[in-house]
Amino acid sequence: MSKEKAAARVRELRALIEHHNRRYYVLDSPEISDFDYDSLMRELLTLEALNPELASPDSPTQRVGALPLKTFSPMPHRVPMLSIDNAMNEAELRDFDGRVRKLLERDEVTYCCEPKFDGLAVELLYRGGVLVTGGTRGDGYTGEDVTPNLRTVKSIPLRIGGERPPELLEVRGEVVMYRKSFQELNRERSEQGEALFANPRNAAAGSLRQLDSRITAGRDLSFFAYGVSDAAALEASSQYAVLERLGGLGFRVNPEVRICKGIDEAMKFAISVQEKREALPFEIDGVVIKVDGIRDQDELGIKARSPRWALAYKFPPTQAVTVVREILVQVGRTGVLTPVAALEPVKVGGVTVSRATLHNLDEVRRKDVRKGDTVIIQRAGDVIPEIVSPVLSKRTGEEPEFAMPGACPVCGAPVIRDQGEEEEGGGQGIMFRCVNISCPAVVREQIFHFASKDALDIEGLGRKIIDKLMDKGLVKNAADLYTLTREDLLGVEGFAELSAANLLASLDRSRRTTLQRFLYGLGIPHVGTVAARDLAGHFRSLEQLTEAKAEEIEAVRGVGGVMAQAIRGFFDRGENRAVIGRLFELGLEVEPPRAGTPGDTSLSGKKFCFTGTLSRMTRSEAKEEVQSRGGNVVDSVSKSLDYLVAGAEAGSKLDRARSLGVAVLTEEDFLSMIGGV
Ligand code: IVH
C-alpha cells in the first residue's frame, strides 16, 4: 500500500472507530458486532505499526476504552486498568507464545487460562478489609465512581475475610448478568412496555450506570474477581495463587480456570471452553491466557495499552450483521400471528442463522425493523436468534414499514385484533389472531405442543412429521395420533420400518401420563407447566377440574381470572370435550398426582442441582419431584446449593460441589429422600 493510501485509510479508520466507540461506550447502542469492531482496530494497529510516521496521540489505539460519562464522579485508577491484545486464531496464539518464550528465554511457559467474561470491568478498593470505593474501568486511567451501585451486588463482599486483610487491596473483576436474570429482566421490561436490553453485557452496564442505586439493587448482577492491581498485596507469586487468595477472601472466582503448561495445552483448553460456551450460565467471549508467574509478568512488562504477558483468544462472534429478506408471519397454537424475519443466512457463534423472531407487532415497531434492512442479529445461549437493531445508516428509504396481514397467511380466514394478555410469543398488547379454529397451522401447533417434552413427551414427533400426517389426512387432532398404524406410517414419505416402529413405541409409552402433563398438553391459553402443576395438585382429577366453576378455578393459588376463564371456556367447547373423550377411548391413562402433592413442602426452600445420567427417571421428572415439594432446581453449583444429585458419569459439577462442601446425593439417596423407593 502506498504511503498516501495508508494515511488516508488510517484517517478513515480513526474516524470510524471513534464513531463506534461512542455508539458502544457512550450510547450503549452499537452498530457493528464486537468482532467487526476488533477487526477495524486491528487493521489500524497494523497500519500504524507499519507506518510509524502516522502515529498520533489522539488515535483510538492510544487509549484503552472510552471516556467516562460526565454524570458520575471520576475514579482514578492508581494502577491503570490495561486492556488485552486479541488473538483471533491459533497462529496468533502461537506468535504470542513465541514472543513470551523469547523474552523469558524459556522453552515452555506456564499459563493461567481463564474464560473471558463478557461484562463490565470494575475495580473495588478495600482499606483495612472494608470496601470503600468501586468504579468502572472507563478509559483505563479514570473510571466512574459507582460505589453505591456496586454495594448492591451481592457477590461483592463489603468486608473481606481472613485474619489480617491487606491494608490496601484493589480487586479487579467483571460485573456480569447471568443469562437467566437477563431473560427475566427483559421479560419484565417487555411486559411493562420498556425498551429491551440487547444482551446481558448491555444489561449489566446499564444496570451499573444508574444514578439511583435502588434501580441497580433490583437487578440481579454478579461479580467475578480475576485479579488485583498489585499481586504483592496478597503475597502471591502466581496468577493462580492470586485467584486462590481472592476465593479465600470471599470473592466469587470462575471455577473454570486452568493452569496450562505450554501453548498446546492452553489452545486445547481454549477450544474446550469454546465448546461449552453456550452451556455456561453467563456469557463469555473468549479465553484470557496469562503468564502465570508474577515475576515473569513483571519481567515482560507492558506496551502502550496492554501487557505483554496476557492475550485474549476471542471466540467467533455471537452477533453478526445481515439483511432482512422478508418479514414473514407465522401462526401459533392459539392462532396468534407472529412476525418472523427471514434473513440472508449468516454465521453466528458457529451456527448459520436464517430466521429471527420479532415476537409481535409492537416489537417490530419498537425496533423499527423493515424488509430490506441491514440488521444486527445475535444468538444468546439456547435463545432463538433475535434482531438487536436495524443499522439505520444503511437505509435507502425504500424499505416498507411492516403491517400485519388482514387474512391468515395459512388458511386465508379473517384475522382479528384483540387486546391480548400475555401470550405464547411472550409479548403483550395488541394481538392478531386467525379466527379459524381448524386452521391447519393452529392444529399442527396444538399437536406439536401436545407431544412436547413437558406434555405427553412423544419422542420423534416433529413439526414436519405432523404436517405430513395432516396432509395425508391421517391426523386431524391429537387423539388421531393414537389411531396410527404401522401401515399408515409406511405410507407416509420418509418413514421406514424402524422409524415407524419407533414412533409407534413412543406413542405407546406416552399413553400413560400424569395429570399435570396432560393439562399442560391440552394447550389451554395461559396454562403453562407451573399452572398445570398447581391445577393438578388442587383438583387431582380431570373430572373435578372440568366440572369446576370459573370462581373455583380462580381460587387455586397462582391462577388468575383470565386463566380461569380460559380454562372454563376450553372445557365448555364441545370439540375439545370430544377430543378428550376420544383420547380416553383410545387408551390414554392419566395418573392423579403422586403422594406429596398438594401441600407437600418437605423440600421447601431447598436448592437442588442434577448432574450426570439418572437411571430411574428423566431430568424433567426429577425436577418435577423437587418442585412439587416446594424445592428449586438450578443449573449450576454454588455455595448456596443444598444438594447435588449425581447420576452416572457426573463431571465437573461433582468436583465443584465437593470442593465447596455441598452435600452430594446418589440417585438412590434422592429417591429415598422423596419417598420414592
Ligand atoms: S485480566 C491486563 N481476566 O477483558 C489484563 N480480563 O481487554 C487485565 N476480562 O474489559 C485484565 N475476563 O474486564 C482479565 N478473566 C479475565 C477477564 C478479563 C474479562 C475483560 C476485562 C477488560 C477486557 C480486557
pLDDT higher than 70, residue 199: yes
Helices (H), ranges, 432-549: 440-451, 463-471, 486-490, 497-510, 515-521, 529-539, 542-547
Distance 116 CA to ligand 1 centre (A): 6
CB environment 392-402: b (16+ within 10 A), e (fewer): eeeeeeebeeb
Cα(674)–Cα(667) distance, rounded to whole angstroms? 11
| Residue nearest ligand 1's atom 6 by CA | 116
pLDDT tens-digit series, residues 558-605: 788 888 999 999 999 999 999 999 999 999 999 887 655 456 777 888
The confidence score (pLDDT) of residue 423 equals: 37
Ligand 1: which of 37, 61, 85, 117 to mutate, most ligand atoms within 8 Å of CB? 117
Establish whether residue 65 lines the binding site of ligand 1, counting it when its CB lies within 6 angstroms of any ligand atom.
Answer: no
Using DSSP's 3-state secondary structure scheme, residue 442 falls into helix
Averaged pLDDT for residues 278-288: 91
Please say whether the beta carbons of 520 and 528 come within 8 A. yes
pLDDT of residue 512: 94
What confidence category does residue 65 fall into, taking pLDDT thresholds of 50, 70 and 90? very low
Distance set, CA 18 to CA 21, 23, 140 (Å)? 5, 9, 16
CA distances to 365, 450, 514, 535 from 171, in Å: 43, 52, 52, 50
Mutation pick for ligand 1 pocket among 84, 273, 306 (CB with most ligand atoms within 8 Å): 84
Give the pLDDT score at 63.
Answer: 58
307 lines ligand 1 (CB under 6 A): yes
Q: Relative to the CA of 65, which ligand 1 atom is closest?
A: 10
Q: How far apart are CA 611 and CA 110, in angstroms?
A: 32
Distance CA 283, CA 278 (A): 8
**pLDDT tens for each residue of 255-274:** 899 999 999 999 999 999 99
> 116 CB under 6 A from ligand 1?
yes
Q: Assess whether pLDDT exceeds 80 at residue 128.
A: yes
pLDDT given at position 422: 42
118 lines ligand 1 (CB under 6 A): no
Q: Of 116, 290, 367, 623, which one is the catalytic site residue?
A: 116
Conformational region of residue 493, where left means phi above 0, alpha means psi within -120 to 50, and beta covers everything else: beta
Q: Does the beta carbon of 143 lie inside 6 Å of ligand 1?
A: no
* Each residue's pLDDT tens digit, 527-550: 888 789 889 988 999 999 999 999
Tell how far the Cα of 485 is from the centroid of ligand 1, in angstroms: 60
Q: Which three cell numbers stand for residue 500?
A: 415407524
Q: Distance from the CA of 121 to the center of ligand 1, in angstroms? A: 7
Is residue 110 lining ligand 1, measured as CB closer than 6 Å? no
* pLDDT-derived band at 67, boundaries 50, 70, 90: very low
pLDDT in tens, 404-425: 999 999 999 999 987 654 433 3
Atom of ligand 1 nearest to the CA of 84: 7
Reported confidence tier of residue 37, pLDDT bands at 50, 70, 90 = confident
Phi, psi (5° rounding) for residue 118? Answer: -105, 75
Q: What is the percentage of the chain residues whose pLDDT exceeds 70?
A: 92
CB of 114 shorter than 6 A to ligand 1: yes
Give 449 Cα–ligand 1 centroid separation in angstroms: 44
More confident residue, 42 or 294: 294
The reported pLDDT for the residue numbered 184 is 87
Q: Whose CA is nearest to atom 13 of ligand 1?
A: 121
CA of 135 to the centre of ligand 1 (A): 15
In sequence order, what are the beta bridge partners of 513?
Answer: 590
Report the first-to-last Cα separation within the chain, whole angstroms. Answer: 76
292 CB under 6 A from ligand 1? no
Q: Which DSSP letter does residue 430 get?
A: E
The pLDDT of 385-403, averaged and rounded, is: 92
**DSSP, residue by residue, 242-279:** HHHHHHHTT----S--EEEEHHHHHHHHHHHHHHHGGG
Cα 84 to ligand 1 centroid, rounded to whole Å: 7
Nearest CA residue ID for atom 10, ligand 1: 121
Cβ of residue 288 lying under 6 Å from some atom of ligand 1: yes
Residue nearest to atom 2 of ligand 1 (CA): 82
* 132 CA distance to ligand 1 middle (Å): 22
pLDDT band at 667 (very low <50, low <70, confident <90, very high): confident
Atom number, ligand 1, closest to the C-alpha of residue 121: 13
Atom of ligand 1 nearest to the CA of 174: 13
| Cβ of residue 654 lying under 6 Å from some atom of ligand 1 | no
Q: Give the tens place of pLDDT for each residue, 99-117.
A: 999 999 999 999 999 999 9
Probe residue for ligand 1, chosen from 222, 226, 296, 313 as the CB with the greatest number of ligand atoms within 8 Å? 226
Give the span between the Cα atoms of 628 and 674, in whole angstroms: 10
Ordered structural domains, the chain, with CATH? 3-64 (1.10.287.610), 86-177+221-314 (3.30.470.30), 319-411 (2.40.50.140), 440-594 (1.10.150.20), 602-673 (3.40.50.10190)
Residue 116 catalytic?
Answer: yes
Whole-number Å distance between alpha carbons of 61 and 64: 7
In whole angstroms, what is the distance from residue 387 CA to residue 377 CA?
A: 4
Nearest alpha carbon, ligand 1 atom 18: 116
pLDDT bracket for residue 11 (50, 70, 90): very high
- Report the residue count for the chain: 677
Q: What is the DSSP letter of 378?
A: E
523: Cβ below 6 Å to ligand 1? no
Label residue 35 by pLDDT band (50, 70, 90): confident
Burial class (CB in 10 A: 0-12, 13-18, 19+), 189: middle
Q: Is residue 77 within 6 Å of ligand 1 at its C-beta?
A: no
Q: Residue 71: its pLDDT value, please?
A: 63
Instruction: Tell which residue, 630, 628, 629, 625, has the closest CA to residue 645.
Output: 625
Q: What is the pLDDT of residue 64?
A: 44
Helix (H) or strand (E) holding 416: strand 415-420
* Ligand 1 centroid from CA 647, angstroms: 36
Q: What distance in angstroms lies between residue 636's CA and the mean position of ligand 1's atoms? A: 23
Q: Report CA(83)–ligand 1 centroid distance (Å).
A: 7
Ligand 1 contact via 335 beta carbon (within 6 Å): no
What Rg do the C-alpha atoms of the chain give, in angstroms?
28
> How much is the average pLDDT of 611-618?
84
**pLDDT tens profile 459-505:** 999 999 999 999 999 999 999 999 999 999 999 999 999 999 999 99
Q: Whose CA is nearest to atom 17 of ligand 1?
A: 116
